[in-house]
Structure 1
Amino acid sequence: MHLLFIDESGTPPKPADEKHSYFVIAGLVIPEDRWPGLRDKLIGLKRASGYRGELKWRFFAPNNADSDNPMLGWEQAAKNDMRDRVFKIITEAKSCRIIACASEGRTAYGLGNVNSQDDLYFRTYKPVTERFQYFLQDVTRASGRDTYGIIVADHRGKGDDDSMRLRHERLIREAGKYTSDYANFIEGLFFSPSHLSIGIQLVDMVAGAIWRAQAHGDRTWYDRLRPSFRASSQGKIDGFGIVRFPKRDWQGDVLD
C-alpha cells in the first residue's frame, strides 16, 4: 500500500484578484514499508539539530519571527542546512515520489466554470488524485500485483474538511464518466493535524519549494527535490509530476 500525504502552499486567489496568483497542492507518495525509515530519520534529524516542534516551510524564511518557530535565533545558513538535510531524507528514499498541481488564478477564473476559491482549490486537488491513480497503476503493472493507496490531507478546519471530503467522495463515485477511474483507492479522504503527522510536515516542505519556484522563479529548493518527482520515461515532469491548471492559456513559467 502507498500513502499520499498532501498539503498546500499559497492561497487560492479570489475571483476579483487581477494579479497572477499561484496556488499549489503537492503530494508525497510513501510506500508503507518506507514509512518507518522516513519517520525515524526526520525525528533523528530534529533531535540532532535541536529542532523542537513542527516542521513548516514558512519557518525557514529569513524574516520569520513567529513565536512557535523552532529556529528563532538561527542564522540563515543553519536554516538552509537544516532544509537541505530534510530534502535529502526525501530524495534518498528512491521509492517515494512527488506529484503536484499548480494553478494560475486569473487564467483559471477565465474558464467560466471556476467561480470561487473553493472551486479553484478542488480543481487544483483533482489532478493530484489522478496522478496518484496513474502512479498506482504503474506500480501494479511493474510488480504484477494489485497496488492500493490512501490519501492523507492536512486538517484545515471542520467546515473545510467536511466540504472537501464530500467533493472527494463525489469525484470517486462519478469516476469513469468524465474523470479518472480510481480503482486503486482505499476508502475516502483522511485528515490529520500537521503537528501530529510526519508525512504532512514533509509534504509541507515540498509544497513550499514548488510554490516558490512557480510564484517567484526561485528554483533553488525545487531543483533539490527534482529527482523525486514522478516523470515520464524520458524524464519529463510537466504533466506527469506537476500538472498545470489550466494548461490552456497558461501564462507563467513551466516547471520541468
Structure 2
Amino acid sequence: MSILYIDESGTDSLKKRTDPENGNSNFFVMAGVLIESTELENAFELYEEVKRKYFKNTIFELKSSLKKLNFKDDFKVSNSELKLMVKDDVYNVICNANCFTFGVQLNKVSLLENGKIKSKNEIYSLAFEQLLLAVQNFKKTTHYEQPIIVMLDSREKKHNERMYTLYRKAIENHRTNLKGFDGNEFSPTLNFVDSTFTFGVQLADFVAGALWRGVEQNDKTYSKKLKEKFPTTDSGKFIGYSYIICK
C-alpha cells in the first residue's frame, strides 16, 4: 500500500486579467507526495530530525510559509537566517526520502479566459483530475502495483464536504472519459487527516509551496531542487507526465 498526501498553494477564487492585485493569486497549484507504507518510518525520522534540530516542540504543523515558529534559544543567527536553514533542510528531506512527487499547475487567468473553468469548484475539480492523471501516468508506465490511499488536510466540515464531492467527481470523470483508468487503484474517497500529526501532508505543503512560488513569484529556488523527485518518461520528460500544466 502507498499513501498519496495532497496539499495545495494559491487561492481558489476565479481571477481575471483586469482584477486588482488584492491577494488573489494568478496560479493555483496542487501537489502530491507518494510514499510506500514501508518507507513511512524512514521518511518520518528524516523529517522529525529537522524539527528536533530547530524547534522546542516537534508536535506542530510546519508549513512552507514558515510562520509562527518557536525556535530553540541556542541559535546565534537571526530568525530570517534560521528560516532559510529550515527550508533547505526540509527540501533535503524530500529529496533524500524514498518518495515520488507530482504536481498540477493551473493558470487561473487563462483558464477563465478560455472558458475552461467557470467556478471555483471547477478549479479544485480540475486539479484533482489532473493530479490523479499524473499518478496514473506513472503507475501505467512503471507497472506500479501498490494500491493508493489518498490523504488531505482536514479543515471545517463544509470545506471537507466540498473536497469529498469534488474528489469523487474527479474519480468518476476519469472512469467515464479516461481509457484504462482504474479507479479501484485509488481510495474511493478522500481520507481527511489532521496535518499537525501527519508529516506527509506537511511535506506536500512544502512541495506545493515551492511549485507555486516558482510560477507566481518566479522564485524557482526549491522547485528546481525538487525536479529530481518527479517521475519522468523514458526520454526524461516530466512536464505533461508527472507535472501537468493547465492554461
Equivalent in the alignment of 1:187: 188
- The one-letter amino acid paired with 1:225 is L
Equivalent in the alignment of 2:88: 84
CA separation in 2, counterparts of 1:173 and 1:225? 31
Equivalent in the alignment of 2:99: 96
For residues 230-245 of structure 1, what are the structure 2 equivalents within 5 Å?
A: 230-245=231-246
Aligned-partner SS, 1:6: strand
| Residue ranges of structure 2 left out of the alignment (5+ in a row) | 20-24
CA gap 1:123/1:170 in 2 versus in 1, 3 angstroms: closer
Aligned-partner SS, 1:153: strand
Question: Is the aligned partner of 1:18 residue 2:23?
Answer: no
Question: Is the aligned partner of 1:137 residue 2:140?
Answer: yes
Equivalent in the alignment of 2:5: 5
CA separation in 1, counterparts of 2:233 and 2:186? 22
Shift of 1:58: 0.7
CA deviation string 1:149-189 (max 9, x = no partner): 11101223211211221222233234332136124113321
Aligned-partner SS, 1:127: helix
CA deviation string 1:87-133 (max 9, x = no partner): 1111112x411101010111111232411112112212210011122
TM-score, normalization by structure 2: 0.86
Contact 2:135 2:242 in 1 (8 A): no
For residues 109-120 of structure 1, what are the structure 2 equivalents within 5 Å?
A: 109-120=112-123
TM-score, normalization by structure 1: 0.83
For residues 1-256 of structure 1, what are the structure 2 equivalents within 5 Å?
A: 1-16=1-16, 18=18, 21-50=26-55, 52=57, 53-59=60-66, 66=67, 68-71=68-71, 74-93=78-97, 95-140=98-143, 146-179=145-178, 181=181, 182-246=183-247
Equivalent in the alignment of 1:63: none
> Sequence identity of aligned pairs in percent?
24
Aligned-partner SS, 1:115: coil
CA gap 1:42/1:175 in 2 versus in 1, 3 angstroms: same
Contact 2:126 2:170 in 1 (8 A): no
Contact 2:125 2:170 in 1 (8 A): no
After TM superposition, the structure 1 stretch with the greater mean CA deviation from structure 2, 6-15 or 46-55, is: 46-55
What is the number of equivalent residue pairs in this alignment?
Answer: 234
